Structure 1
Amino acid sequence: MNIFSYHLVKIPYSLAIKGLFSNPIDKKTEGLIHSEYMTAMTLGSPIMSSSRFLIKQVAIFAQWENENALESYLKEEKFGKILTKGWHVRLEFMREWGKISGYKIPEQKTKLENKASPVVAVTIARMKPFAIPRFLRWGRPVEKLVRDHTGTLLSLASIKFPNIVSTFSIWKTEKEMTNMVHGHSDMPKPKRHSDAMKERERKNFHFEFTTLRFKPIAEFGFWNGQESYIPNLKNK
């Protein structure tokens, strides 16, 4: 069964710079379907700030033929061993909106155990370069909404030059996430996300865009000194 994994790790500056120009995960890695190597960003941070681009902090979003392929990569490959020093979560696919090239969205979909189960959301966009200023104007308020939302357990953004932008968020429950999406949360200015979606429908920011929803199945390691971001999840 296909699985996805999302990794966060801090790496040396020299390796981070190299990663800006080439993905350190070989496309021919056995069992790998697709991966994106991205530089982490703080959601909602000012565009021109040190917290906007966290050059030594990287995010990897990958799809694997099965969990054994991921295990082998982490144990046997040089960059895989680096990833084991960070944090990652393993994911089973639930739903997709939109389309993105590279990943192969499974026909088989999983379901949450119950309404109180946590859920993970990943968005990936391939931006239209001239739409980036307008995207930032509409997107930063949404970033702040997700970052500060009482329903999130962990959230961040990431970027891959020249035009890939992504977000990652873990939510306490699916209902809290969908309420945010539709502007029904108790947060200040709750319609920031729904307003941005209306603007996207009016005039698209992207060549490609998708939102993916996942069931987390296992969590490993530490990120920023913390482990076990996801409650009631059996760690391995």
Structure 2
Amino acid sequence: MTVHTFHLAEVPRSVSARALMSPPSATAAPGLDHGECMALMRLGAPTLSPDRMQLRRLAVFAQWRDEDAVDRFLTADPLGRHLSQGWHVRLEYLRRWSTLAALPGLPARAGAWEQDEPVVAFTLARMRLREVPRFLRWGKPVERLVRDHPGTTLALAAFRPPRTIATFSVWRTVREMEEMVRGRSAVPGADRHASAMAERGRRDFHHEFATYRFRPLSEHGVWRGRTRIVPTGAS
């Protein structure tokens, strides 16, 4: 069964630089369909800030043929061994909006979910470089909305130069995530996400853009002293 993973780890700068320049491939990691390696960013951080690109904090999103392939990678691959010292969550794919050339085989929807179950959202985009200033103007308020939302237990962004950007968030419930997306949350500035999506529809910021919804299956390890990041209710 296809499984997705999202990893966070503190690594030496040299390890991060190699991963950004040469992400793992199916040749080096049997059972891997696709991997994205990115430097972590703090959501809402100033544009010119060390928090905007944290080279020693590596985020990796990957699609695998099965969980055995994940286990082999974490024990046998040099990058995998670094990632095994951090935190990761294993994910069951549920739904996508739009698609990426790198992940062509995912159906638009794969299963059902309950409104009160935990959910993970992952967005990956390839930026139009000329649109970056406009994207930051509209995107930063959304970053702060997600970062500070009471429904998230973890929310972050990641970047790989020159044009790949991603967001990752763990939500207590599907309902809270959907309310945020639709601008219906009982928080200040609840319409920020909906407004940014309307602006993207008017003139796209990206060459490619896709949002994915996952059910968390299991989490492993520790991230910055935290465990049990996935809310109780996920297996």
* TM-score (normalised: structure 1): 0.95
Structure 1 partner of 2:135: 135
Structure 1 partner of 2:182: 182
Structure 2 partner of 1:111: 112
Structure 2 partner of 1:152: 152
3-state SS of the aligned residue for 2:21?
Answer: coil
Structure 2 partner of 1:77: 77
- What is the distance in 1 between the residues matched to 2:97 and 2:222? 30
* Paired residue type of 2:158: S
Shift of 1:35: 0.5
- What is the distance in 2 between the residues matched to 1:138 and 1:152? 21
3-state SS of the aligned residue for 1:140?
Answer: helix
Shift of 1:231: 2.4
- What is the distance in 1 between the residues matched to 2:20 and 2:95? 30
Structure 1 contact 92–110 (Cα < 8 Å) conserved: no
Instruction: List aligned pairs for 1:1-236, cutoff 5 A.
Output: 1-23=1-23, 25-28=24-27, 29-107=29-107, 109-112=110-113, 114-232=114-232
Shift of 1:232: 2.3
Structure 2 contact 117–234 (Cα < 8 Å) conserved: no
Shift of 1:234: 6.5
For residues 72-92 of structure 1, the C-alpha deviation after alignment (integer angstroms, 9 at most, x for no partner) is 111222211111100000000
- What is the distance in 2 between the residues matched to 1:128 and 1:115? 35
For residues 194-229 of structure 1, the C-alpha deviation after alignment (integer angstroms, 9 at most, x for no partner) is 000000000000111000000000000000101111
For residues 82-124 of structure 1, the C-alpha deviation after alignment (integer angstroms, 9 at most, x for no partner) is 1110000000011100111212443471333x43211000000
* TM-score (normalised: structure 2): 0.95
* Paired residue type of 1:14: S
Shift of 1:4: 0.3
3-state SS of the aligned residue for 2:207?
Answer: strand
Query: 4+ residue stretches of structure 1 with deviation over 6 A?
Result: none
RMSD of equivalent CA atoms: 1.4
Shift of 1:69: 1.0
Shift of 1:155: 0.5
3-state SS of the aligned residue for 1:168?
Answer: strand
Q: Which runs of 5+ in 2 are unaligned?
A: none
Q: Which runs of 5+ in 1 are unaligned?
A: none
- What is the distance in 2 between the residues matched to 1:8 and 1:176? 24
Structure 2 contact 25–34 (Cα < 8 Å) conserved: no
* Paired residue type of 1:153: T
3-state SS of the aligned residue for 1:51?
Answer: helix
3-state SS of the aligned residue for 1:44?
Answer: coil
* Paired residue type of 2:110: K
- What is the distance in 1 between the residues matched to 2:32 and 2:201? 33
For residues 11-31 of structure 1, the C-alpha deviation after alignment (integer angstroms, 9 at most, x for no partner) is 0122223333222x2341211
For residues 114-135 of structure 1, the C-alpha deviation after alignment (integer angstroms, 9 at most, x for no partner) is 4321100000000111011100
- What is the distance in 2 between the residues matched to 1:60 and 1:102? 15
- What is the distance in 2 between the residues matched to 1:124 and 1:91? 16
For residues 19-69 of structure 1, the C-alpha deviation after alignment (integer angstroms, 9 at most, x for no partner) is 33222x234121100000000000001001111111100100000011111
- What is the distance in 2 between the residues matched to 1:110 and 1:59? 27
* Paired residue type of 1:151: G
Comparing 156-165 with 66-75, which one deviates more in the overlay? 66-75
